[in-house]
Chains A and B, each alone.
Chain A
């Protein structure tokens, strides 16, 4: 909420007129840049410099050994013929647009249940939050490999109720699903954000509504839901951006292949294979820029769409 608000708020500030700075102001300016020095150096050599280089490389053929060779739009045009790349985009989109909504629905539902002065709130919050902290680790990906394996935990549990399981990870039609389950499992982080948002809604609104005889359902639809839309929006943007960049789980669960049959080939995994497996640095750079454009586009679309459904109190 805050980071996004800041961004839109910045434009509103009036621009100061150009004028000579006083000696004190000039001193403060100097001190400012001293404090900013590490960040500015990082911005230049770790962020903006490599970004520019990456943009340049995306128009070249480069394998680390020979110097980069300018090939114009070749890398970008190649994407239209690269069916594996198109498949990886499909896999990533499917993953993002199925698992993120499910994750947020779970997060919101649990936050609403936990909100109303529950006893043991902090205990439940910790229990549900823990998977968010561990979910991105290699260890959990290892666990997932076993759980959804042919003779893994899920199939053992299914056998208890007489259902014959399957090789969830070995089957191309279900392998991606296991990764979606993993993402939904980490709903704790957005849940904590929802809880913080719910706490900001003044209780007097509910008191007034209850006095007027509004039912719980009506209180939800007319108070909670509208006032929570900025948080929902914030979570949505954040989780979409994060999910587009998922890598570790697919990499470990598929043993680095994106298999079976490229069914877990996330875009980032294909990028890694191209760049650091085949050393097609030019092509990998072009892919990275496509990823940036996709993420920027979705963030932008979210911002535009938010005008219709996000309600800002202030």
Chain B
């Protein structure tokens, strides 16, 4: 639902950034390092990269950090004292420069973290994030958002979505939530009346490459197909795809003990790892990589839509870009549709 539409000039973006900074919010934005662009905390507008098609890492870390403390514990003579999650420790954050596929990813994570158990830590973080999305004027051959239910100007998940109206042009600002409205309120002098009727002409062309409903139905029939082994032969079994993915949410619980005290943390985990499903008995129900690869696809395109009514993929293409073995998600999904049961 679009509450409002405004225009903001290109030159006013820095002013907007500074207003948000002054509003004592932490700002995470795309910043380059070692040739890779990722969301990092920054207070300098000039540091933000603008030429990226997609960041190397997704923005999920702001709501689902790679390492999150769940509790502190201390063993003493009276037993064990536990200090749980402190909502006061979670800062107000602005996610700046989020692509529509990533914004949609946050919304999908929310479906996971509120499926049966309502995850307080995730929900607290989410409640304190304002997403300033930027539409895509360019895409590359890894992008397939339009096949994943999104699009280069998709508003889902953003609080405010900015679309540049041509190269060096001003920006259309679509205000989508109350958090978005709050931004306009504190920086009202930067926004002016909108005269643009159609943003579509300024968006990247991302052709639809497959039908995900058809794919979901197909997946129900090909659990035992040889396609999984064929596709995954070159997979090296690392977790790069899962860790750059905006919707992968699997985690592992670890205790970090120092004598009688310590903390319990949840850490990202990946179904690509052989350890992921290893049982205490030594039995591993997914003992080879093809079974792990199948799980990755099934989870995103079959189990999640069945259970959560959302697909576990936004078509951002990061997994394909990050994979050291060129396991290209789009290519594999298209070939699955042609696979024999």
- A is bound by B: no
